[in-house]
Every structure is written in C-alpha cells, then in structure tokens.
Structure 1
Amino acid sequence: MPGLVEQRSIDVVPDAERHGTAFSQFTLWLGANLQITAVVTGALAVVFGGNAFWSVIGLLLGNLIGGAVMSLHSAQGPRLGLPQMISSRAQFGVKGAVVPLLLVVVMYVGFFASGSVLAGQAVAKLTHLDDTTGIIIFAVITAVMAAIGYRVIHILGRAASVICAIAFIYLGIRLLDRIDLSATLHDHAFSFPLFLLAVSLSASWQLAFGPYVADYSRYLPRDTSARATFWWTLGGTTLGSQWSMTFGVLVAATSGGAFLDSQVGYVVALGGTGLIASALYFVIALGKLTINVLNTYGGFMSMVTGVSGFRAQKTLTARGRSAYIALIMVAGTAVALAGKDSFLSSFKDFLLFLLTFFTPWSAINLVDYYLISRERYDIPALFDPRGRYGAWRWDALLVYGIGLLAQFPFLATSFYTGPLVDPLGGADISWLVGLLIPAALYWLLARRNTDHIPAATILTPAPAPDSAPERTPAA
C-alpha cells in the first residue's frame, strides 16, 4: 500500500498510482462546506439587508450555478491526472499561466486567513488560550496536514462529512426549537439587488474552488466517468454549502445582532454548554481544518505551478514542498492576525472581489477543455515552454484582460462601485459578465487556430529522434 505522505506535486499521476471512486468527491466537498465560514457567508445575505425567504433561494441558485462550473473543473482531474492550474498552460502558455496564478495564490492566503480567524476562536476556547494563540496553533496543524497531502485530505473530508453533518443536524434542531420558522420566512418582499447579492455570495463561494478542485480528483483512475465525477462533486458541494448557508440565514434573521458580535460563540451557545459546547468547538475546528488544508495545499500547488513554468521544473523535493507550504502558512497567519477584529465586513468584499478575477479564468479554461480542445491535451508539452503551447498564449491573455475590464462597470464593493450599478438598482452582475463575455470571446478566437491541439491526449514525451516508434496517443 502506498505511504500516507504524498510524493507527487505538479507532475502527472501515473495510472499505477490511481485509486478511489468518484464518490470520494462527494464526501470531500460535503465536509469542506459544512463549516462556520459557509454559515457566515449565508448570514451575510441577511446582514446586508435581504429577507430570509429570498436569501435562501438566491443562495441556492448561486450554489447551483457556481457549483456546476466548479464541478466541470473537477471532471478534468481523472482525465489529465494533473493539478488544476497546470492545465491552464494549454490556454495561457507555460509561462503565461502565471498571470491568473498570482491572483489564485492571493485567494488561498485570504481564505486561509479568514478560516484561521474563526477556527482560532474555537481552538482558543478548547485550550483556554487567547484568540491569537488559537490562530497560530490552528495554522501549524493545517500546514502539517497539507504537507502530508492527498490521502489525509480525503480522510479529513470523510470524517468531517459525518461528524459535521451530525453536528449541523443537532444545531438545526436546537435552532428550530427557538425560532418561529414560518414567521422568519413570512416576509416575501422581493429586492432584485439584494437577491443578486445572495446569488453572488454563494456563486463566488463555489467559483473560488475552481482553481484547485481538480487537485483532489486527479488521483482517480483515468477511466472514472466524467459524469460521475461531475455529479458527485456538485452534490457534495451544493448540499454542504446550502445546508450551512441556510443555517446562517436563519441565525442572522433571528439572532437580533448577537451573531454579529461573536459568530463562533453564538453558534456554540445555541447548542448548549459544558461537554456539548466543547464538542461543538471541536466540530468548528474540524470543519475549518478540512477547508484550510485544501486552501493551503491548493496555494502550494499554485505557487509551484507558477515558479516551475519559468524553471522548467516537473517535480518537487520534500524540502521544497515544506518550504512552499510554510510560506502559505506564515502569510495567511499574518493576514489573520492583522484582520481578526474586522472579519465580517471585510470577508464579504473579499469574496465578491475575488469573483472578478476567477470567473474569466474559469470561462476560458472550460471553453478550451470542453469545446475547443475537446479534452485532448499534450501533457508533456504543458511543461515545455518551447512545445506546442508555447511560453505565452496572447489570445487567452487578451481575453482574460477583457473579461476583467468588462466586469468593473458592474462591480459593487465598499471600495469601488461601477457606473452601471445604480441603473441596475444596485445589483452586482459582474460575475455573470465575467463568465459570459470571456467564454464567447475565447470561443470565437480559439476556434480559428487549432493547430496546437493533438488528435488525442498525449501522455508520454516523444522518443528521441533515433528511436523507431513515434509517441502513442491515448484516448
């Protein structure tokens, strides 16, 4: 049996090392979404003015749309056996892929920080220490688990999917005993801008998984059904996030502001005191550990992908792996400590602003994979800037830039509001623009020149010139 500590990094996973079933994606993403930050995300829809009824519906719509995009990325993992952002080199070039990668790393550091703030509060309560110490302890545990790698990530996902589900069922029962559900959902007044805010909050939550989701499906056997991978991923991520976010909506709508003062403390107090409270603090820490390990691992993968494009590097030593993970940990912890006192207001803008940068990348990657290349990539060429994909692919970079700029007139955040937001009643539709315009533009440009697309997926490098057979394509 292979060891627990992962040996692979950005290199392709050989067929002999593939294992597992598509169902593993369900448990991983269910566990990753049954956690306190998803609860806060749902609560924000009410905190910023929405009523509970339309907030729940808006969050569901955003989770389904964003989850479908994210799950299409997940289905690439078994086919290619590569981390998600390596496949971006087919669109942006071996070096050009660093452009979206820079923003991806910022995202992981941000999510690491936001998760550490809430989990640090739980760890502090469990250990009877202050929040700062709790954040640091949690960050170190996260880094160790990320360094162990893929297998422990899925073990965490399976454990969290069961333990956190039981905890959320219990908390849901306790909440419904305290509130009048029909009265909470009685207000059906519809506000289009607030409805779109709820959609955007959950869509951004899901789309932010896109740059690393295939990292956790790439060890599945190559013949794993893409359809099964898609549906199990979508089922897990939508169920987990909607469950957590609906709970957050109901809490925010009925807490009278107490939830805003201490998100973790309020949720735990809802469950009880004594041993029950300790168990809930543990559950909160476990849920955040699962997602923060994903963020740390994804950040490490993205940093290596960016650097290796300029160094022609295909593998990474254990020491190098630990160094990258430590860098993510230190940066994320520093941000967490600096922003722990203004978490709730800054997190909403962080989520929506991230969406601006990742929707064009998702659109380009998915259009290329499913409509232009039709799942046919030359995998060795993804590591060679002199190969068929080149160092920079300016058509994709141009479309990406246009996709970014096209969103700004429709973007609404506390630090910037576009000129077309007011005519739309304050609604932020930038994420829709960021998906549709780059998808259409890239499809129009890329279909004009498909000479770089192989007849079938190429798994191994071409042999030396004096060797007899040519490389063998694999369907």
Structure 2
Amino acid sequence: MALPYARNNRVTPEREAPYSPTAFGGRMPTAPGDLRIETHGIAPVPADRRYGRPGRLFTVWFAPNLTMTGVFTGTVGVALGLDFTTALVAVVLGTLVGAAPTAYLGTWGSRTGVGQLPLARMAFGPGVVLPGALQWLSSIAWDALIGLFGGDALAQLCGWPFWLGVLVVMGAQGALGVLGYEAIHRLQTVMTFALALAFVVLAVKLTDGVHPAASGAAHGADRAGAFVLTFTIALSLSLSWAPYASDFSRYLPADTSRPRMFWYTLLGISVSFVAVQTLGLWGASVFTDQTARGIDTLLGGGALGAFGLLAVVLAALCSNAMNDYSGSLALQTIGVRLPRPVGAALAAALGFPLVLWMHAADTTARFQNVLLLVGYWIPGFVAVVAVDWAARARARRGAPIDLAAESARERPWWPALVAFVAAFAVAVPFMSTGLYVGPVAEALHGADLAYGVAFLTALVLYTPLRLRRRP
C-alpha cells in the first residue's frame, strides 16, 4: 500500500511517502516459526499478513531484561545508602511507572501494523529525524551496555581476549537482528524459560549466606535524594523500551485484545526487571567486582561458574537482538534507505567500538553515565506521541485509523519538535549523573527528577498546540 502525500487532493508522486513499500517493504514472516530473513522494513504490515496471539508479548518483553546489567543496576540503591526494603520500594515503583507507557504504546502495533518510530511521523512529520536519530544512537548505546557483560562473559568462558568475546557476541546478536521479528519472538520464548531457570539457580547460589542491608548510611534529605535517584534509574530501564514498543506487536492481528496486550507487556517488563534488580539489591555487598570474572568467582568457578557465564551471554543476545532490530527501523524512519537487515547489522557493528571504549577505563562510571544519558529524551517523546494519538482517536470517534489518510493530511510539525526539545532543555537542571549534576538535583541531594520534568513539560507545551490544530 503506497501512501503518497497529497496537496489539494492532488498526489505528488515525486515525494515518496514515509512508509512506501517500494523503499521500505520486503519479505514478511507468515506464521509463528517462520525463521527466514525478514526484509520488510517500516512499511505497514497488511491486515492479511498478521498473525500471533498477545501472549507472546509477555515472553518478548521478559527474557531480554534478565541481564547482568539489571543486576548491577540494582546494586545502586544500596550503594547510595538505602536499606534493602526502601531501595526495593523505589525499584518496584520506578519499574512500574516506566513500564506503563511502554505497554500502552505497544498496543498501537496491532492497530496500525507499524513500528513505534515510524508511527511518530504522525506527530513529528519531517521533524521525526531528531527522535529517530536519538533512538538509533540509543540502540547502539544499549548494545554496548548489554554487550559489555555478554562479551566479557564469553571471553571468560572460552579463555579469549575481551575484544574477541565482544566481537562474537556482537556478531551473533547482529545475525538475530538480521533474521528479524519472528526469530526474535521465538528466541525470547525459549529464553524466557531457560534464563528464568538460570537466574533462579544464580540467585540461590549468589545470595547463599548473604544478608541484605537492614539499615542504610543515608539519612534525612540524603536518604530522600537516594530514594528518588534509585526510583529514576529503575524507571529509566523500563521506559527505555518505549520507543521500541509497537515494533514487536506490529504483526499481531488488528482485532487483538488491547487490554491483554497491555497487561502481558507490563508484566513481562515489570516482573523481569524487578527480579534482577532485587537480586542486585540483595547481593549488593558481594557484587563488588561487576565483571564476568566477578560472577565466575562468586559462583565458585567450575561447572556452575561456566553455567552462570553462559547465562550472561545468552541474556545479552536476547536483549541486543531487539536493540539491533529496532535500530534498523529507526534508521529507515529518518530516511536512510538501507534494507532493514543491513541496518540491523550496522547497529551491531557500531556497538563494538563503544564497548571497547567503556571497557578501557572506569567501566562502572562510564556504564552508569551512558545508562542515564541514553534515556533523557524518551519522556518528552512519549508525551508528544501520546497526546497526538489521543487527539486523532477523539477525531475518529472509534473508527479504525487510516494511515493513508493521515499521511496525506498535511499539518504543521513544528509544535511537536518544539515541545520535544523544550522538554529536554527544561529537564537539564534536574539531571543527576556522574558526568553532570544539575543545580536543582544538587540542591535536592542528588535526586534526579529529570524524567518527570521532561514528560510534564512536553505534555503542558504540546497539548494546547496540538488541540488548536485540526485533528
């Protein structure tokens, strides 16, 4: 289905539509288990090519979060001086708040057959280049954050140099990203059970004889600041999936239950992230060496140590395959006419030098800085696309969305971009990272309120501007 632009009811063929299958179409999977390479890009998935049930959203969002990145992130609350119970409350609340927008956005995939960044064109128009580029860069950054542990674990397991372990992991995840949607879904289904069992074994072993912190060193305002920062870090993890959300539901039939899609996604993200971060909180006192060698040592080496390292490698593959897949869609969204499989391979390739950079100096500090910085743009993005979608839904009054009509109807795109950029700018004083602590965050004893400030700023700015326009 070609979606040409129109002006005064006249098609202008010289301007190719953002979803044109001539540029971004290709072979689609036909049923569960079809593992041939998906060359289909950002063009809408036709209704007669949809398949699957909403239950697969639980596994596709559960397995990729069972990584050591989540475990080591979970140690932050205790490191900031919180006791176990207080830190756990912050983790649970932050995870749920961040997972809810992702679950909501994911319901758009079945209704449109389109991925998340391509759908953002409805709000941003040509300005989608900015969030699209940020999403592409973020997918590469997440490749490095996850691949750091996966490559280190494989190198330790096989006795290889670090760079070779990273290279093999990046190559394997890139291959999965190239295969595409169905291969990722099938992998996550299998890995949900395998990795869940592996992390149960790891949890029993790693926490044997370890007692969580009953009291923390932080008190008063410092304790409140530590709570907010722990909440924000947990929120950043689950919200980081929001720009990917409908990428992994776009092949579901249009009549798929939206409540079931929402709850399967919410549970998949929340249960997995809370589980791994709780493990990090519980064992914070023994997770002093945040490397694969540290994991092997804690497990006592031998077969159990090898088992733990293998679990870390597989978890990295699960997560980064999704990063590469969504990165390829983001690259097409900003107008780069690379076939989707090539875009996925490119994301994996570019993640390799970033891993080497993170590993070259203070790995822990660089890891935490990249983790926070890659997500500050997302709250403003979520606010803009949600308001735009709500305005269109109100105008349709329950009628199905017509992407062809929406693409042909020209509207000013500057309000979305202005709200998006302003949201980030206003949030800067509220940021708290190892690279930069804003004056407000410093006054609040390190509390990072940037995510909430960015979301509310975009909401307040964009809503009146959007409502002034025709739907």
Q: TM-score range by the shorter chain?
A: 0.7 to 0.9
Does structure 2 conserve the Cα–Cα contact (< 8 Å) formed by 1:46 and 1:55? yes
Corresponding position of 1:285:
313
- TM-score w.r.t. the length of structure 2 is 0.87
Corresponding position of 2:173:
142
- Opposite residue 103 of structure 1, the aligned amino acid is L
Q: 1:379 aligns with which of 399, 403, 406?
A: 403
The 5-angstrom pairing of residues 125-164 of structure 1 reads 125-164=156-195
- Opposite residue 388 of structure 1, the aligned amino acid is R
Q: 1:301, 1:347 → 2: CA distance?
A: 25
Corresponding position of 1:193:
225
C-alpha displacement of 1:186: 4.3
C-alpha displacement of 1:372: 4.7
Corresponding position of 2:454:
434
Corresponding position of 2:253:
221
Question: Any unmatched runs of 5+ in structure 1?
Answer: 454-475
SS at match of 1:20: coil
Corresponding position of 2:237:
205
Q: 1:402 aligns with which of 392, 397, 422?
A: 422
Corresponding position of 2:74:
42
- Opposite residue 454 of structure 2, the aligned amino acid is G
Are residues 1:328 and 2:347 paired?
yes
Distance 1:19 1:355, change over 3 A: same
Are residues 1:123 and 2:157 paired?
no
How many residue pairs were aligned?
431
Are residues 1:27 and 2:59 paired?
yes
C-alpha displacement of 1:231: 0.6
- Opposite residue 45 of structure 2, the aligned amino acid is V
C-alpha displacement of 1:123: 1.1
C-alpha displacement of 1:323: 2.8
C-alpha displacement of 1:65: 0.1
SS at match of 1:434: helix
Of 147-156 and 408-417, the range deviating more from structure 2: 408-417
The 5-angstrom pairing of residues 25-424 of structure 1 reads 25-93=57-125, 95-181=126-212, 184-187=213-216, 191-252=223-284, 254-255=285-286, 259-307=287-335, 320-341=339-360, 342-374=362-394, 377-380=401-404, 387-389=408-410, 393-424=413-444
Does structure 1 conserve the Cα–Cα contact (< 8 Å) formed by 2:72 and 2:290? no
C-alpha displacement of 1:61: 0.7
Question: Any unmatched runs of 5+ in structure 2?
Answer: 1-29
Are residues 1:10 and 2:42 paired?
yes
C-alpha displacement of 1:284: 0.9
C-alpha displacement of 1:416: 2.4
Q: 2:206, 2:164 → 1: CA distance?
A: 31
Q: 2:266, 2:390 → 1: CA distance?
A: 18
Does structure 2 conserve the Cα–Cα contact (< 8 Å) formed by 1:85 and 1:212? yes
Does structure 1 conserve the Cα–Cα contact (< 8 Å) formed by 2:116 and 2:245? yes
Of 84-93 and 41-50, the range deviating more from structure 2: 41-50
Corresponding position of 2:21:
none
Does structure 1 conserve the Cα–Cα contact (< 8 Å) formed by 2:202 and 2:308? no
CA deviation profile, 1:21-49 (whole Å, cap 9, x unmatched): 11111111111111111112112233344
Q: 2:469 aligns with which of 432, 449, 457?
A: 449
CA deviation profile, 1:220-263 (whole Å, cap 9, x unmatched): 111111111111000010000000011111222x21xxx34343
CA deviation profile, 1:324-377 (whole Å, cap 9, x unmatched): 223212211011112213332112222222232111001111122135544864
CA deviation profile, 1:285-330 (whole Å, cap 9, x unmatched): 111100000011111110111115xxxx7xx6xxx33432232122
- Opposite residue 429 of structure 1, the aligned amino acid is L
SS at match of 1:261: coil
C-alpha displacement of 1:189: 5.3
Of 424-433 and 145-154, the range deviating more from structure 2: 424-433
Does structure 1 conserve the Cα–Cα contact (< 8 Å) formed by 2:87 and 2:227? yes
Does structure 1 conserve the Cα–Cα contact (< 8 Å) formed by 2:210 and 2:283? no
Q: 2:199, 2:323 → 1: CA distance?
A: 23
- Opposite residue 82 of structure 1, the aligned amino acid is V
Q: 1:393, 1:378 → 2: CA distance?
A: 19
The two structures, once aligned, show a CA RMSD in angstroms of 2.0
Q: 1:333, 1:207 → 2: CA distance?
A: 24
SS at match of 1:428: coil
C-alpha displacement of 1:272: 4.0
SS at match of 2:227: helix
Q: 1:360, 1:111 → 2: CA distance?
A: 19
CA deviation profile, 1:121-140 (whole Å, cap 9, x unmatched): 11112322111100001111
- Opposite residue 148 of structure 1, the aligned amino acid is L
- TM-score w.r.t. the length of structure 1 is 0.86
CA deviation profile, 1:404-442 (whole Å, cap 9, x unmatched): 111012112233222222332331111111111211222
- Opposite residue 427 of structure 1, the aligned amino acid is A
Of 332-341 and 346-355, the range deviating more from structure 2: 346-355
Q: 2:316, 2:269 → 1: CA distance?
A: 15
Q: 1:40, 1:273 → 2: CA distance?
A: 20
